[in-house]
Structure 1
Amino acid sequence: MTTYEIKVKTGDRFGAGTDANVEIVLLDGSGKQTKPANLDNWFRNDFERNQLDVFKIKDDTDIPEVTEIKLKRDQAGLFSDWFVDKIEVLNQKSGVTSVFPILRWIRPDVDLYFGKYDTFLPQYDPRPEQRNAELQEKQKLYEYEEKFSGLPVQVKTVPEDENFSTDAKLDIAKRKYCLLAGKAVELIFGSGSWKTLENLKGVYSKIFGYPKGMNDWKSDESFGWQRINSVNPNLICLCTEIPDKLGVTDEELKPFLEGMTISEAISKKRLFIIDLEILEGITCVEGHVCPVPIALFFENSKGQLMPVAIQLFQQKAPDNPVFLPSDPPNTWLIAKMWYNVADSNYHQAITHLGYTHLLMEGICVAANRCLSPSHPMFKLLAPHFLYIIAINDRALNFLVSPGGWIDKTMAVGSTGVLELAKEGARTWRMGLEGSYPEFLKSRGLYCKDGSILPTFYQRDDTLALYEAIFGYVSKYVNLYYDTSDKILKDVEIQTFGQELTKSKSKGGCGFEGVPFENGKFSSVDQLTAVFTSVIFSSSVVHAAANFPQYDAYGFPPSYPTKIKGVPPKNKNSLNEENLVQLLIDKSTTLDTMVITRILSERSTNALGDFEVNYTYDPAAVQIVEEFRKELKDISLKIHQRNEKLERKYEYLLPEEIPNSISI
């Protein structure tokens, strides 16, 4: 008799444990198989949630290396549903262990077969009927719905599997409770409006700590830093000409261009522009204004980005002056604050919500609908979809809903945020905004030698991470598609491409810029581009937009999301009292601090360190290990650079980037 040791890991999901009777058969692929054996330890409650159970069975058939298992459960007991993470089988005679990643709910009263490593392209799966039946069930769970007209598609109903685990729910609740301390912090704040800036600054040491945005927030160096190294570095572009609608002259700008003319600064690639025209006509909260600014920036001899002109609305007019650094200090400072209102509202609606949360949910739904859990590309993508559907469901119901946090703290409110998100989604292209090198090139900022904006550290770190992800994905894709014929005959990957590109009106995601040509994927380059874009957007892009939020918005004067009154229409001298009168009230300040502090905290594992392990194929495991090593090398380089800097950029250290959009 041969003894087999069988380890069964039940999943950590709601209702994952089972009271059912479980039966297993071991196979070797050549016809040899053991007799059905019940998995049951006497006087032990087997198969509880997140539990590892070990069984020993004996059989007169010796299978030195088990290559397939057959699993079956009945519907006995009060709770018969069962989600299994993995099963390991050890032949004690041969000493060979075989791993079977399951990562599925086990359907009742059906013989289910799982191969070693469970990684097959559909055309090579020995059990196609089982695979197709499973996909049909998933398509019922993951249906598309355009919940808000014009926004990316989302899942119609949140599947139970997509909800936060109990641990994650408790962690979020605990952090929120600790920050709010049962609303006791409101006693520290009091109510009403701020009287002085010192009054506002005094609350930070008592509650959340000082945001980095408080340091030197009035300076032009800090304002320029915000454009390239804070929450929204996706707007800055190399300036190639001054638009007619911007009312600046050589004479006005020369004092701020280190003696250069505008044309000289342009020719030397040292003049930059941001035009927030997309904000024109966006709905605002009643009684509040969101500017639609154009601003110019100059790279000085120290490599710092400095603001040199701000026009708060699009067209030249007597009551729409161009503000300059030579204007009265508080007048110039208040112009920068109004500019930041526009920038912050764009950031939250498009850079953050639109380009990461909403777009990636549609791709998550498509992957679950089209790719079997046994598909190697599903295993590549799955760690980067963790909790995205759950967090989006909460965000839209809590933050973006009428009367929610967005309405209270942002100038455009929930209505304007959704309008902006629609505009952003309408123009997003996977081959442009979804491909970081191309996105940089389109803005004139692609540069690896520091010759353009040498202090644009966010760009440098992002580019290094993009290239690491691209290399990782390229190796992984090439492992399973060593010929283009394998891509062409992969019906699941072709269906995935069809659903990504099919219009929303016809039941697809409606994405533009997907390299899905003539209705098919045909090359590893195309697949590498798509999967790199998804993993990059779900990890690096989201981290860059999300985790600096408390440092940016925690001190409202530094980067206001909403202020009182109306933008200045002339350059009259203003004082600090005028500035303080613009600030949001104490209650809204508290709300901004609490939410941005929660959003800025990591709640899941770092990039490459997956909460759930989907990859067991040894060749693929080696590729993952190489990726992790490259991430460590990137981290070391960032640390070495930061040691030399007075103002450090630390938000894209690989160990600080979660795998997925989970908060």
Structure 2
Amino acid sequence: MSKYVLTIKTNNRYVLTGTNETVQVKITGDNGNSTDWHTLDYFFENDFEAGATRDYTVNHQDSNTVGPPIVITFRLVGWSESKNWMVDHVTAKHNEIVYTFPIYKWVENDEVAVTLGKAELPQNVKSDVVRKLRASEIQYNQSTLQWNTKSTSSAELGWGISRFLLVDETKGLPRLYSNTLGQKNRGSLSGLGVAVNTGVNLFRGPGALETLDDYRLLYEGTEFKDPLFFEDWKKDVEFGRQVLTGISPTAFQRCTSLPAYCNITEQHVGRMLEKGKTLASEMAAGKIYIADYKYTSSIERNKILLSTKLFSCADCIGLFYVTAAGDFIPVAIQLIPGDAESVFTPSEENSYDWLLAKIYFRSTQSTVHEWMYHFFLTHGLSETFSVATFRSLPHCHPLYKLLKPHLTAVVSINEQARKVLIPPGSLANQAISLSAIGTVRHFYKEFNLSDVDVEHNIKTRGVDDPTLLPNYHYRDDALDIWNALKTYVSRVIKFFYNTNQDVKNDFELQGWASDLAKEGFGWQDGNTRGMPVKIESIDDLIWICTIIIFQSSAQHAAVNFGQMETYQFVPNAPASMVMPPHKKGEGSPQRIMDSLPGLSISSILVAFAYALSMYAQDEVFLGDFPEDLFVETEVQQIQKDFKADLNKLGLKFYNRNKSLKHPYWYLLPDKIPIDINI
């Protein structure tokens, strides 16, 4: 007789993880033999309630020896049409040896079989049972997790962008993508916050906003007070600080020459430069930077809420200068490319002309931030990575274990966004100037994975030298986080892959790469956006995985959680304007108020910023691992070292922030969620 003592832990992080169904188990040994199905049950007890840990003894009395366990299979038996139970992990004690099975999966209507916890490359698997199980798991996943149907026209949401998960509206999302309890509660609270905050503001009536300061009424009733920068928001130094190191920190670059459609000249900016310096000499010295939004001219404008008119979005160009004191200040803003009369500077005789020009610039920056830098480059990319990963890799593959913590939550939040934020005519698209899908499509045409390689991005934009561009805290912190993450990823991958040939021989990995490149990115035009169809080296694999994890954690934190702080006082950065850009001399307090989006639209903007800035109650932050997917002690130590590295960086950032008037907290490691769940 073979005896197995199973210790089974039922999950309690997600909703409805326990089960009242009868749970049965079958154990397969390393010789390929299996036990019969055994029912796991304590009489009159709720065995598998959420969070429960129970021991069960399985005695195998057949003459066919089973031996050490390598596969455990569960199934649910009962009368319910929909059966589900989520298992965290199982240990099986046999002949005084304990075998660990990290599961962290839902057992639903079908059987679920899991292999021993050791992560293994497919070419190294010796057991026929395990080989067949891995192949069948991939086949099952590809049948249940399907790419969205290939769009055939621009009228469809999936046209011209990376692909996402196909969701059966009758069944809903696969349980793989369930929200945790905290995420679900946060979703309800934020949704309620959106509704209540918007409703309260609308009851104020159209006369509620008569001055710029009246916009403060829109965040009354929330826990948010005036932003730290409120008293300075009109000042050029504060304007530049928010462009440099705010929530859109990669939207500018070093300027070595002005584009032909830019009419900013020496005459415009000369008096703002250091004595004896010229625009040409300061460009050569690396002290001039540009944020160029001319491309927005080709992106569709949205209709204004409850109107047939379109929002205005200035296709503007902002020129910035690094002063001797290290401040990053605006020296000129051109609102209409090719129109010299639309150039405004801090030297305007009418100070309202300059203030309004800055507001138009910030409006364009805000709408591009929301749809490109926030949604597309983090949410959109992360979902494409997620679908390919869970379709193509079995749960015992080391890459699955490495990436899973960072890719589970994003599909759920994106599915909500595709219903209420992204579609033309959505409430968000009636409050933000540029079309969401139009903006994403525009950038996807030329997108390449190297664009989100932090080191490459910073170098290519010419912002890598801290002596030329001081106080660029995003650059400094992002590079530190990137390097710590790259070290972690490199150590994990090199633990499993000894040579480049190991990478080439990993047919599951190559299937993942092909699915991601061809079906995820290149489905429409064959352009795989820098994602290789075949991965040829360890270095390439490290690069790709570092990008995936960084975009799904740190970069999302950098562009997301400061939204309420940035957008709550609407004049600071309105995501839409309702009048076309002004001409010289037209600036006035009334013209500014008439150009801003007003009560209804601003209420929506503030409400969404409020909802998007909330952390979940059970948030897990970068460096923490809620699921013990790796059983290898060496990899567990690598994870601990990664956490220690992040703790050191956190202390470094905290100490730096002590001396800052405006602390840069977006990339503090204990503020970076491990995945995208909002």
TM-score of the two chains, using structure 2 as the length reference? 0.88
Contact preservation (8 Å) 1:213, 1:555? no
CA deviation profile, 1:515-534 (whole Å, cap 9, x unmatched): 63xx5212110100111111
- 1:137 maps to 140
Larger deviation, residues 147-156 vs 193-202: 193-202
Do residues 154 (structure 1) and 164 (structure 2) align?
yes
Match of 2:41 in 1: 40
1:23 to 25, 30, 36: 25
Q: Please give the alpha-carbon distance, in whole angstroms, between the structure 1 residues aligned to 2:511 and 2:32.
A: 34
Q: Following the alignment from structure 2 to structure 1, what is the Cα–Cα distance between the partners of residues 136 and 410?
A: 26
Contact 1:309–1:325 at 8 Å: present in 2 too? no
Over aligned residues, Cα RMSD in angstroms? 2.9
Q: Distance in 2 between matches of 1:428 and 1:44?
A: 56
C-alpha distance in 2 between matches for 1:168 and 1:555? 27
In 2, distance between residues paired with 1:202 and 1:400? 28
Residue correspondence of structure 1 range 40-439 to structure 2 within 5 A: 40-56=41-57, 68-73=70-75, 75-78=77-80, 81-89=83-91, 91=93, 94=96, 96-106=97-107, 114-125=114-125, 126=127, 127-145=130-148, 146=151, 147-157=157-167, 159-161=173-175, 162-165=177-180, 167-178=182-193, 180-181=195-196, 185-186=200-201, 189-192=204-207, 194-202=209-217, 204-207=219-222, 208-259=224-275, 260-284=277-301, 285=303, 286-317=309-340, 319-412=341-434, 416-431=435-450, 433-439=451-457
Aligned residue number for residue 495 of structure 2? 479
* Structure 1 residue 461, shift from structure 2 partner: 0.8
Does residue 603 of structure 2 align to residue 590 of structure 1? Answer: yes
Distance 1:476 1:177 in 2: 42
Q: Which amino acid in structure 2 is aligned with residue 436 of structure 1?
A: V
Closer, same or farther: CA 150–326 of 1 in aligned 2, 3 Å: same
Q: Alignment identity in percent? A: 25
Decide which moves more: 492-501 or 195-204: 195-204
2:588 corresponds in structure 1 to 575
Counterpart CA distance in 2 for 1:506 and 1:183 is 40
Distance 2:199 2:98 in 1: 56
Q: Structure 2 counterpart of 1:151, which letter? A: I
Deviation of 1:640 after TM superposition, in Å, equals 0.4
Partner Cα separation in structure 2 for residue 499 and residue 505 of structure 1: 9
Q: How many Å separate the matches in 2 of 1:560 and 1:106? A: 47
**Does the CA contact (< 8 Å) of 1:69 and 1:114 recur in 2?**
yes
CA contact (8 A) 2:92 2:98 kept: yes
Tell me the number of residue pairs that the alignment of Structure 1 and Structure 2 aligns: 649
Q: 1:509 to 1:530 in 2, by over 3 A?
A: farther
Instruction: Evaluate the alpha carbon distance shift between residue 515 and residue 411 of structure 1 in structure 2; reply closer, same or farther with a 3 A threshold.
Output: closer
Deviation at 1:75, TM superposition (A): 3.2
CA distance in 2, matches of 1:508, 1:56: 54
| Counterpart position of 1:534 | 548
The 3-state SS of whatever aligns with 1:307 is strand
Match of 1:306, SS state, is strand
TM-fit CA distance, 1:401: 2.8
How much has 1:254 moved relative to structure 2? Answer: 1.6
| Distance in structure 2 (CA, Å) of the matches to 1:250 and 1:505 | 44
TM-score (norm: length of structure 1):
0.90
Q: Are the structure 2 counterparts of residues 37 and 630 from structure 1 closer, same or farther at C-alpha, using a change threshold of 3 Å? A: same
* Aligned partner letter, 1:140: S
In 2, the alpha carbon distance for the partners of 1:505 and 1:149 equals: 12
The CA deviation string for residues 621-651 of structure 1, in whole angstroms up to 9 with x for no partner, is 1111111111111110000000111121111
Distance 2:649 2:353 in 1: 42
Counterpart contact for 2:344–2:353, Cα < 8 Å: no
Letter in 2 for 1:626: D
Q: 2: CA distance between counterparts of 1:89 and 1:597?
A: 43
Give structure 2 stretches of 5+ with no counterpart.
152-156, 304-308
Q: CA deviation at 1:316?
A: 2.9
Residue-by-residue CA offset, 1:181-235 (whole Å, 9 max, x unaligned): 4866337744445111233335545434223452411000111012121121112
Give the drift of 1:15: 6.6
The 1:183/1:232 distance shift into structure 2, 3 A limit, reads: closer
In structure 2, relative to structure 1, the CA distance for the partners of 1:364 and 1:215 (3 Å cut) is farther
Q: Any unmatched runs of 5+ in structure 1? A: none
**Residue 440 (str. 1) matches residue 458 (str. 2):** yes
Distance 1:430 1:403 in 2: 30
Report the counterpart of residue 568 of structure 2 in structure 1.
Answer: 554
Letter in 2 for 1:275: D
Q: Which shows bigger deviation, 457-466 or 158-167?
A: 158-167
Compared CA separation, residues 549 and 598, structure 1 to 2 (3 A): same
Letter in 2 for 1:465: I
